[in-house]
Amino acid sequence: MLTDSIIDRAVRAALDEDCPWGDVTVETTIPADATGVARLVPRQPGVLSGGRVFVAAFRLQDPRLEVSLERPDGSAFEPGDVLATVRGPVRGILTAGRVALNFTQHMSGIATMTRAFVDAATAACAPGAAPRIVDTRKTLPGLRAFEKYAVTCGGGHNHRFGLSDAVMVKDNHLAALREAGLDTVAALRAIRGRIGHTTTIEVEVDSPEQIPLALDGGADIIMLDNFSLDDTRRGVELIAHRAVVEASGTMTLDRIPGVAATGVDVISVGALTHSVKAVDLGLDWE
Identify whether 16 is a catalytic site residue.
no
Q: Pick the catalytic residue: 71, 87, 138, 255?
A: 138
- Write the CA distances from 59 to 67, 106, 195, 214, integer angstroms: 8, 20, 44, 51
Identify whether 204 is a catalytic site residue.
yes
Q: Pick the catalytic residue: 71, 98, 234, 242?
A: 98
Identify whether 225 is a catalytic site residue.
yes
Identify whether 98 is a catalytic site residue.
yes
Catalytic residue list: 98, 138, 170, 204, 225
